[in-house]
Structure 1
Amino acid sequence: MTTMQPLPGIRIRHLRLAGVSRNYDVDFTQDQRVRDLSVVAGAFSSGKTAVLEFIAYGLGGKRHPRHPEVLRKVRSCLLEVELSGEPHVIERPVGEPSKVAYVRRGTLDSPPLSKPESRTIEPAGAPESLSALLLGHCKLEGVQLREAPSSRESRTDPLSIRDLMNLAFLPNERIASMNFLFENEYMKKHKLKQVVDVVFGVHDDRAVELGQRIKELGVRLTQARSELAAARAFVDEQDVPTVGALIAEQYEGELRELTEQLRALDEAAQAGTTFAGRLRREHQQAAERARRAAGVVRDCETQLTRMMPLRAQYADDLVKLNMLAEAQRLFDPLSVTTCPACLNRLPVPPSVENGSCSLCSHELPYDDGHRTLGTATAEHSSDEGRLDVAAEIRATKARLKEITAYVEGLDSSLATLKLQAEDAAIDEERAAAAVDEATSPTVTPFLAARDNIQRRREEVLRHLQHAENATKLQAGLEKRAALVERQEAQIERLREERDRLGDAAQDRDLVVGRISGRYSELLRQWRYPKLSQPVIDTNLVPHVRGGSYREASSGARTLLTLAWQLAVFEVAVETSAAHPGFLMIDSPQKNLGHGATRDAVIADAIAIDDFYRHLTSWLAEQGAGAQVIIVDNSPPVLVEENVVVRYSRNEDRPPYGLIDDETTTDEGSPELPPHPA
């Protein structure tokens, strides 16, 4: 059985919203292969539409969903895609829409195959932009769109991936819309028509446009070849081996072998010195005694350092108290010898006359015959307020004596403690020497062998580093060479396309006719009521029953817009046109069974099963390799196995929604009123 080759373009593999404490994932693969049909199902306001919007954001969209729970929980959007069959991861920050995306080869859950490459979002036409990368895989790199299609003198704008997404993403607001083809926006309407023509290769001035693309790619090819030649010259100067990866594997094996030898040698050395266990224990005990003796010496010295200033302070206090006692005994600073009123010297000192003070005539409780200033107050006061100098002197002397005795004891014991510490240190040295003497004859050969292995290991590490650097340089060369080959293949394909060019008008009529035929076929399969004259005109406007889709009812417009989008997609895939190869549809049952705007006539006549039945059969046959992702509130049972996730908006039936750990608003109230998915 031959393996089917992947179609060119883009396929969506996995969406991951990286959060603060966890990730939120939607997987579109089964057994590591992209599902052809994926359905995101569930209740209203559960985040289904946000899945498609984040995919569009990862592919270069200007904005991402800004629901409160998203801004609280999500920090970056990672989109795993297949670009021409090769897995890549595109990462963009979430918050303020980023101006840069980071692209690397590989998958989300495997080690990256390349360093992340920075790709700008604007301008879309820049060679280093994300749009240029994606369009290159859709065979549309370098396409220019004229601002005024009817004027050859018109300025041109580069085609962007956002322009192409109008054919790959049918959002809810465009389904059944009377502005489905951007009739109310002149520039967008003409750009959509140009994009369809470019995708199918039937636009005007194809030869001129292809020549410009070939010329531009030729300039890029020349630059890429120059960079490749410069890189090869640098590698040649560095004398890098061309088999760096193989050499690296050899050195890695040798490194593992040397590490194992070191481990075995250490085990052997340990086993060979077990006989010295008693000596080691004696050495440990001697070391412990030495540590304790040194600690005692440090404690003693610390105590001496603290007690000496204290003893000096007490001695100073004792001197001050002795001076105070001498002053009270020798001097009476409070004796009154001068009259406080006239300042003349008193003929006699104050005394007690008839039980009263001779100065103030105040009655005194007792009489000692002689008064000095303050004597009566002191006699009337209690003993608590009087300073007993003698008692303080005795107490201070006692404390000073105790401190002096303690300090002298410490000082006298310090010398002995130092001798003990020195003896303990000498005992430890002797025990260590005994261990060395006993084990040296056994350990020395091991040490010599270990040194040799260690030197060899360091040498292998150096060689391994050189080999890894060589591998990186070779990978860089291969990347540049692959870029040159890809650009050469693109130029060759464009030249072949230019050589095959026919009449643009006739080719376009054939394409529009085929799209119109598929549009009619789809409406018949879906049992459109009273179907007549289904056609898509040359301006790509869908008609039915002789009128434009804008004249139909709401439910009918749902079917007409779905049929238009699917017809363009299916014909593009079947003809290998330059379409991304995937299609996202939001709410195909709009107005057919959900909500207050239900179109009863259409809904009663149409079975949504027919829509899904056609998709599954087409994807299995003519559309093999294409991808369709649909958001639907209640898909039918026949596509149950295609449901990749079902959001319940019920805490008892997880997952609650896309951000499944957000079930209430900030205030703790129930979730916001439902809005379309």
Structure 2
Amino acid sequence: MEISPYLLVVRLIIQGVVKQYEARFQEGLNLVWGDMDSGKSSILNLIDYCLGGKNDSLLYGEMKANGRLACLEVNLNGKIFTFEREILSASSPIRIYTGYFEERDRNFPLIVGVSPGDTFAPDGWVSDFILENLGIAKVLIKESKYREDSSSDRLSFRDLMKLMYLKQTRVGSDALLDYQSPVVFNKNVEVQKFVFNIYDDELSALNTELGREVAEFGELEKNERFIRKFLSDVKIDVRNFEHSQEEAEQYQDKMAVLDESLKDLKEDFVLSSDVGETISEAIKTMRAEIFAVDSRLKEIENQYGNFAKLNNTYQFDYKALKLSKISRQIISVARPKNDHIPCPLCQSDIEINSSAIEDDDIEHQLRSLKNRTAGIETVLMDLREEQKVLLNQKEKLRIRLIEASRSFDENNLASISPLLTSIQAIEDARSQLKITVAEAEKNLAIYNKFVDIGSKLELKSALIEKLRRSIKIIKDGLIGLDAVVEELTVLFVSHMQKSGLQKVHGVYLDKKFTGHFRDISYYNTSSGGVRTITSIALFVARLQYLLKHACNLPTFLMIDTPGQNIGRHRADDDNTEVSDPQLYESIFNQIIKVIASAKVENRKCQVIIVDNDLPDSLKDGKNYHLVKRFSKQGGKFEKGLINDA
């Protein structure tokens, strides 16, 4: 039975300047919740960016300072790929590796562009790669089926992402699906028709796409034959590489055994005997003693310098006071207070009106300075004496250390030599094994590249068959717009009835897939809370339809802050219909039921939700996977996506 394609995010890795940040996801409902402005929305924006989106919302302080590469592990219809993109350079190409993040060295990456005209990307456009691996045809989408002069664009994965990513700025927004731009909105309507296999009069376009895919299939077959012949000419049998991964893993195991043996030998080498251990301890003790002596010598040198400076200061003061005493005899201190003396510099008169210091005071200061100088000189002599003692002690320790080291070498030479030989032998074996491992990994990369060509042929073949079925559907008139809208309306009505809103009537979808509530178009609804619930119900109803039918859209959904415009905690005096926390609980309950139903039907799907709160019904930790819990207070939770900023 044919089903809709699926896309499952496995892991998001941010390679930073200092460390690596990551978030892991699972099939089903995934939640990221916590404080505002902690990087929750950045997780969704990074997922979108790795799949070809923009980085406008990622260029904030912490990310610019710490983030460098964004890597996304994603499961596209059962095959794992790792998308790698520079965070700060939206124009740089995207590298796509087959396999998980840690397996990148085993594969040659595809280098794809973020726009169809990117000349720096040798392997095409990222959108084409994703669509091909999802089995979705790259058809032409007209901006309007009613205007003959309307232009057509090739379907882009970005067109589909609008139907899978309900951004924070679009939840409850009157600009949902670019409604304010009639041309883009009409194109989004046509994209949705293609998603639901409503082709109207697009038979010619599908036949054209079928012809293009058949031509590409033929080109791939020709390339495979060419590569196979080239490998044959250079005597390389790809079949011999089929078990390269197992061989590489076996070689890595052997390397681990050698590393362990080498570690043991080096430990034996350090202390090969009891005698050597005793001598080694003595050597360590002597080195510690020499270090302590050196430390004290540096201390003494610093102390000596400080005391010498102080001694110089005291001697200077002593000489100054002596000079002052002599000057007093020249300048008679008995002169009247209002007497004048000539300035020694400019010869102008200076009035002497201050009281003179007594001779006894000056004598007292001179004796004090002389005593201090004598004390410091004693200290300096003691320091020099201690320095001589320590230098002598250091020399004796140095001689003992030389003797101990010589004794260590003599006593251990007999046991060390065999160890050195063994260590050298293992090092040689490791070097040879490294060459073998590198060869095995190169062979594995060649094999994986060849297998990728075969996988592309299988994808093309499946897509061609799908296009043929789509053409048959049109010719047989099996799927029409009215039937799809009718079933979507039933799903939409069910969600609105269970939403907790009052006065539920006049609920339906029109032929442009626009929701109506109380007979009012979503875009004309004045209540932000009602628009929030309606926008989420439209996206969830679409996911539910995808899980029931084979459509051209992955069963994947991201919602950023579904609780905005809804009161999550009712105030005592609040009677407004959109302030009931039941509305918030209902959003999650209905999503959980859709996911549970998909699980019963063995359908794969993934929903990732970011919000500031956690509904009461999920506080038991069941029915969802907690990707991240952020708290600015830290503690047992991370402070944010960049958790060391």
TM-score (norm 2): 0.65
CA RMSD, aligned part only? 4.0
**What is the deviation of 1:41?**
0.6
**Corresponding residue of 1:47:** 39
For 1:75, which of 61, 68, 73 is the aligned residue? Answer: 68
**Corresponding residue of 2:340:** none
For residues 585 and 463 of structure 1, the distance between their equivalents in structure 2, rounded to whole angstroms, comes to: 48
Distance 1:651 1:224, change over 3 A: same
C-alpha contact (below 8 Å) 2:52/2:126 kept by paired residues: yes
Match of 1:500, SS? helix
1:529-568 map, 5 Å: 529-549=502-522, 550-568=524-542
For residues 456 and 15 of structure 1, the distance between their equivalents in structure 2, rounded to whole angstroms, comes to: 38
Match of 2:101, SS? coil
C-alpha contact (below 8 Å) 1:19/1:73 kept by paired residues: yes
**Corresponding residue of 2:55:** 63
Distance 1:119 1:184, change over 3 A: same
For residues 228 and 189 of structure 1, the distance between their equivalents in structure 2, rounded to whole angstroms, comes to: 42
- The one-letter code matched in structure 1 to 2:616 is V
Is 2:632 the counterpart of 1:658?
no
Distance 1:84 1:189, change over 3 A: same
**What is the deviation of 1:234?**
1.1
C-alpha contact (below 8 Å) 2:15/2:70 kept by paired residues: yes
Distance 1:511 1:650, change over 3 A: same
1:269-280 map, 5 Å: none
Residues 492-531 of structure 1: per-residue CA shift (max 9 Å, x gap): 2211221232576961111111111111000111122011
**What is the deviation of 1:196?**
0.6
For residues 610 and 24 of structure 2, the distance between their equivalents in structure 1, rounded to whole angstroms, comes to: 14
For 1:173, which of 163, 169, 192 is the aligned residue? Answer: 169
For the pair shown, which has the larger CA radius of gyration, 1 or 2? 1
**What is the deviation of 1:551?**
2.6
Contiguous gaps of at least 5 residues in structure 2: 266-417
Is 2:12 the counterpart of 1:15?
yes
**Corresponding residue of 1:610:** 586
For 2:136, which of 135, 140, 152 is the aligned residue? Answer: 140
Distance 1:532 1:475, change over 3 A: closer
For residues 133 and 456 of structure 1, the distance between their equivalents in structure 2, rounded to whole angstroms, comes to: 43
Contiguous gaps of at least 5 residues in structure 1: 29-33, 268-442, 663-677
For 2:194, which of 192, 195, 198 is the aligned residue? Answer: 198
For residues 429 and 529 of structure 2, the distance between their equivalents in structure 1, rounded to whole angstroms, comes to: 79
**Corresponding residue of 1:592:** 566
Match of 1:567, SS? helix
- The one-letter code matched in structure 2 to 1:622 is A
Match of 1:532, SS? coil
Distance 1:571 1:245, change over 3 A: closer
**Corresponding residue of 2:225:** 229
C-alpha contact (below 8 Å) 1:573/1:579 kept by paired residues: no
For residues 629 and 181 of structure 1, the distance between their equivalents in structure 2, rounded to whole angstroms, comes to: 19
Is 2:97 the counterpart of 1:104?
yes
For residues 514 and 435 of structure 2, the distance between their equivalents in structure 1, rounded to whole angstroms, comes to: 68
- The one-letter code matched in structure 2 to 1:223 is E
**What is the deviation of 1:468?**
6.7
Distance 1:604 1:246, change over 3 A: closer
Is 2:153 the counterpart of 1:157?
yes
**What is the deviation of 1:545?**
1.4
C-alpha contact (below 8 Å) 1:583/1:629 kept by paired residues: yes
The worse-fitting range, judged by mean Cα deviation, of 232-241 and 553-562 is 232-241
C-alpha contact (below 8 Å) 2:160/2:191 kept by paired residues: yes
C-alpha contact (below 8 Å) 2:135/2:459 kept by paired residues: no
**Corresponding residue of 2:612:** 633
**Corresponding residue of 1:87:** 80
Is 2:565 the counterpart of 1:577?
no
**What is the deviation of 1:132?**
0.6
Distance 1:256 1:167, change over 3 A: closer
For residues 38 and 429 of structure 2, the distance between their equivalents in structure 1, rounded to whole angstroms, comes to: 61
The worse-fitting range, judged by mean Cα deviation, of 651-660 and 463-472 is 463-472
1:203-222 map, 5 Å: 203-222=199-218
Distance 1:180 1:483, change over 3 A: closer
Distance 1:112 1:6, change over 3 A: farther
**What is the deviation of 1:246?**
5.2
**Corresponding residue of 2:240:** 243
The worse-fitting range, judged by mean Cα deviation, of 570-579 and 458-467 is 458-467
For residues 203 and 466 of structure 1, the distance between their equivalents in structure 2, rounded to whole angstroms, comes to: 51
- The one-letter code matched in structure 1 to 2:627 is V
Distance 1:67 1:472, change over 3 A: closer
C-alpha contact (below 8 Å) 1:221/1:484 kept by paired residues: yes
**What is the deviation of 1:123?**
1.3
The worse-fitting range, judged by mean Cα deviation, of 484-493 and 192-201 is 484-493
For residues 465 and 112 of structure 1, the distance between their equivalents in structure 2, rounded to whole angstroms, comes to: 10
Is 2:622 the counterpart of 1:646?
no
- The one-letter code matched in structure 1 to 2:486 is G
**What is the deviation of 1:250?**
7.9
C-alpha contact (below 8 Å) 2:533/2:587 kept by paired residues: no
The worse-fitting range, judged by mean Cα deviation, of 587-596 and 243-252 is 243-252
For residues 243 and 171 of structure 2, the distance between their equivalents in structure 1, rounded to whole angstroms, comes to: 56
**Corresponding residue of 1:24:** 21
Residues 357-382 of structure 1: per-residue CA shift (max 9 Å, x gap): xxxxxxxxxxxxxxxxxxxxxxxxxx
Is 2:615 the counterpart of 1:619?
no
**Corresponding residue of 1:364:** none
Match of 2:21, SS? strand
**What is the deviation of 1:163?**
1.1
Match of 1:607, SS? helix
**Corresponding residue of 2:362:** none
The worse-fitting range, judged by mean Cα deviation, of 44-53 and 502-511 is 502-511
C-alpha contact (below 8 Å) 2:96/2:111 kept by paired residues: yes
Match of 1:25, SS? strand
**Corresponding residue of 1:283:** none
- The one-letter code matched in structure 1 to 2:64 is L
**What is the deviation of 1:206?**
3.1
**Corresponding residue of 1:325:** none
Equivalenced residue count is 473
Distance 1:20 1:5, change over 3 A: farther
**Corresponding residue of 1:431:** none
Match of 1:12, SS? strand
Distance 1:478 1:604, change over 3 A: closer
Distance 1:621 1:650, change over 3 A: same
For residues 453 and 63 of structure 2, the distance between their equivalents in structure 1, rounded to whole angstroms, comes to: 39
Distance 1:543 1:505, change over 3 A: farther
**What is the deviation of 1:38?**
0.7
Distance 1:101 1:612, change over 3 A: same
Distance 1:541 1:230, change over 3 A: same
C-alpha contact (below 8 Å) 1:8/1:85 kept by paired residues: no
C-alpha contact (below 8 Å) 2:82/2:100 kept by paired residues: yes
For residues 628 and 472 of structure 1, the distance between their equivalents in structure 2, rounded to whole angstroms, comes to: 33
**What is the deviation of 1:166?**
1.0
For residues 519 and 128 of structure 1, the distance between their equivalents in structure 2, rounded to whole angstroms, comes to: 39
Distance 1:16 1:506, change over 3 A: closer
- The one-letter code matched in structure 2 to 1:40 is V
C-alpha contact (below 8 Å) 2:505/2:517 kept by paired residues: yes
Distance 1:487 1:593, change over 3 A: same
C-alpha contact (below 8 Å) 1:101/1:119 kept by paired residues: yes
Identity value in percent: 24
The worse-fitting range, judged by mean Cα deviation, of 483-492 and 5-14 is 5-14
